[in-house]
Amino acid sequence: MSKKYNVAVVGANGAVGEEILLLLEELNFPINKLIPLASVRSIGKTVEFGGGDIAIKELTHTVFEEEKVDIALFSAGGSVSAEFAPSAVKAGTVVIDNTSHFRMDKNTPLVVPEVNPEDIALWEQTGIIANPNCSTIQMVQALKPLDDAYNLKRVDVSTYQATSGAGKSAMEELVTQMQDFFAFKLDDSIPKAFPHRIVLNVIPQIDKFIENGYTKEEMKMVNETTKIMHKEIELSATCVRVPTLRGHAEALTLTFGCDVDADKARELLRKAPNIIILDEPSESIYPMPYICMDKNETFVGRIRNDNFRKNMLHMFVVADNLRVGAATNAVRIAQKWVEMQKNG
């Protein structure tokens, strides 16, 4: 009989944690025991799993050893991972971390299973496998097959990122502001999750600005893409928050080392793993956030040649940030890790 694992989900009742629980069930992950963990604030609460309710336990330094946790999926913020992931590793647990904390650590693999699954084998260097930023994951899934065929040189990307990228409270802020707007009591002075009101607005700032004029979110896309693709790719990003709940969209302009044909590129992407092509402009068929909600695939459309340069392509890429951009990628890493253990 194949082995089953004790799996902890850290941040189990958060926006990403809840999706991880759904994914573990949907993908029939071999679980012996599920251990949902969160802060002391969540003690007394439960999560639904496997047809029942499981009590949330407090995340402590000793819980991984006490519960004999084999795999821990962390999504409770960077500072929580910084503090508690080392305790998990010490207890012999493999950590799959959704936060940015370990992503650029040179000994920690940063993995998108469709792009660099071989890097999972490096997990023993730190005991941790990092999950990339949500905007990076869906983008590199679309870049990889095109880079293999046409030698990608440069990416220019503008994102349209949903409020759920900033967690549950950020989604609630959008909903509350919508309700306040319709009740004629919208108060612009009190945004919490974002620097400005998000309702009826778009905000060209995600995370903090750094000295070079870019935001940390934008620089994550630059640095993580290079690490995952094992290649220096010129990349410039403008990350924008938009008033949607779920699903990040990206307008990509790609420059290649040779001429590229949009029809051939579309066929390559059609064959790529976990990519769905929605590209019938005459029928208004293209990817949009509401179509990709709750899906585990990345949707690509509006694939077209540049008007002026034969080595450039443009396209629109959309995926569910809580799934593809977080939970699905993390659980797929866990699945591959399990496969690797089986094959010795």
- Is 134 an annotated catalytic residue? yes
3-state secondary structure of 200: coil
Q: Which is nearer to ligand NAP, 41 or 264 (CB)?
A: 41
The active-site residue out of 101, 239, 248, 292 is 248
Element (H, E) at 139: helix 134-150
Q: Which is nearer to ligand NAP, 168 or 304 (CB)?
A: 168
- Shortest separation between residue 160's beta carbon and ligand NAP, angstroms: 14
250 within 8 A of 298, measured Cβ to Cβ: no
- Say how far apart CA 43 and CA 162 lie, in whole Å: 29
Q: What is the DSSP string of 307-323?
A: SS-TTEEEEEEEE-TTI
- Shortest separation between residue 267's beta carbon and ligand NAP, angstroms: 30
- Shortest separation between residue 272's beta carbon and ligand NAP, angstroms: 22
Cα 209 from chain centre: 21
Q: Which is nearer to ligand NAP, 247 or 301 (CB)?
A: 247
Where do contacts with ligand NAP occur on this chain (CB under 6 A)? 11-17, 38-39, 41-42, 59, 75-78, 80, 98-99, 134, 164-165, 167-169, 321-322, 325-326
Q: Which is nearer to ligand NAP, 78 or 243 (CB)?
A: 78
- Say how far apart CA 81 and CA 93 lie, in whole Å: 13
By beta-carbon distance, which residue lies closest to ligand NAP? 14
Q: Give strand pairing partners of 317.
A: 250, 300
141 within 8 A of 320, measured Cβ to Cβ: no
The active-site residue out of 101, 134, 239, 292 is 134
- 340: which 2 tokens? 């690797």
Q: Which is nearer to ligand NAP, 32 or 60 (CB)?
A: 60
Cα 290 from chain centre: 17
- Shortest separation between residue 212's beta carbon and ligand NAP, angstroms: 22
- Is 292 an annotated catalytic residue? no
Which amino acids are annotated catalytic?
134, 248
